[in-house]
């Protein structure tokens, strides 16, 4: 019996091993009408970077797809950086948090 392959993170496109922190990201934030809406499984570091970069309103209005998230300039730089790391890589979210 073969083991199923690890799921791929749609943001960085690296495998997500079972022993690596992971989380579900609501493509439309729950507070902006996304409760019960589509979610994607991400590395915890990728999820943290999304929320460090974008607020709930911007996520709901302009970044409610993986393609839109991947096209954001700061997230694109993050993806380029993290994609060179092993799937189990952990780190604090780099860079300053977005202004509130």
Q: What is the pLDDT of residues 27-70, one digit of tens each?
A: 988 888 778 889 999 999 999 999 999 999 999 999 999 999 99
Is residue 43 included in any domain, yes or no? yes
pLDDT on residue 4: 79
Q: Which domain holds residue 65?
A: 22-82
Distance CA 37, CA 30 (A): 8
pLDDT on residue 8: 95
CB 29 within 8 A of CB 60: yes
Q: Tokens in use for 9? A: 């993170």
- The number of folded domains in the chain is 1
Q: Any idea what DSSP says for residue 42? A: E
Is residue 47 included in any domain, yes or no? yes
Q: What is the pTM of this model?
A: 0.84
Q: Tokens in use for 30? A: 């729950």
Is residue 28 included in any domain, yes or no? yes
Q: What is the pLDDT of residues 13-24, one digit of tens each?
A: 999 999 999 999
Distance CA 53, CA 100 (A): 11
């Amino acid at each position: 019996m073969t083991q199923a392959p690890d799921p791929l993170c749609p943001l960085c496109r690296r495998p997500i091993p079972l022993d690596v922190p992971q989380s579900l990201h609501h493509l439309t934030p729950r507070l902006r009408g996304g409760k019960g809406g589509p979610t994607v499984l991400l590395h915890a570091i990728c999820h943290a970077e999304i929320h460090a970069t974008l607020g709930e309103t911007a996520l709901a209005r302009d970044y409610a797809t993986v393609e839109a998230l991947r096209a954001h300039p700061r997230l694109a730089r993050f993806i380029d950086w993290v994609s060179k790391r092993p799937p189990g890589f952990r780190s604090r979210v780099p860079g300053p948090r977005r202004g509130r």
